[in-house]
């Protein structure tokens, strides 16, 4: 099962190929995607992305995780979150969201088992 392409990105809107939902923030993994609801884990711009935000995607067997920090990179990614991924043998890229989507799509096109969490506003 391959990772779905992110078909479009604009401020506050993301579309994943093969999915009718428009996301504000989303999680993607080989074979699927869903809304990334920060309220589920109490996430906020600071301290930022928590390991709990990534567990669902990690469980899908990804080899690389791409984290999109927002258009203005307001979303923080603490070292503990990067360490969590590395301890699970997962490569991690933390980028501004437009760059993150480009990297994610390039990896997905190469057949890499890539997952991601993307913040599409600030």
Radius of gyration of the chain (CA): 13
Q: What is the pLDDT of residues 25-62, one digit of tens each?
A: 999 999 999 999 999 999 999 999 999 999 999 999 99
Torsion of Cα atoms, 58 then 61 then 64 then 68, to 10°: -40
Q: Where exactly are the structural domains of the chain? A: 6-118
DSSP state of 93: E
Q: Cα separation of 110 and 115, whole Å?
A: 13
Verdict on whether the full-model pTM lies above 0.75: yes
The fold of 6-118 is Hypothetical Protein Mth938; Chain: A, (3.40.1230)
pLDDT at 112 over 90: yes
Cβ atoms 64, 90 nearer than 8 A: yes
Q: Give residue 20's pLDDT.
A: 94
Place of tokens 């969590």: 84
pLDDT band of 1, cuts 50, 70, 90: confident
């Amino acid at each position: 099962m391959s990772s779905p392409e992110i078909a479009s990105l604009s401020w506050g809107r993301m579309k994943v190929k093969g999915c009718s939902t428009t996301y504000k923030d989303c999680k993607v993994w080989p074979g699927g995607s869903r809304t990334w609801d920060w309220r589920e884990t109490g996430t906020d711009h600071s301290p930022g992305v928590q390991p709990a935000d990534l567990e669902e995607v990690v469980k899908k067997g990804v080899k690389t995780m791409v984290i999109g920090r927002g258009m203005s990179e307001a979303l923080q990614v603490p070292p503990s979150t990067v360490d969590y991924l590395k301890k699970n043998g997962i490569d991690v890229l933390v980028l501004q969201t437009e760059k993150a989507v480009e990297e994610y799509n390039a990896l997905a096109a190469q057949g890499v088992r890539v997952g991601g969490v993307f913040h599409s506003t600030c």
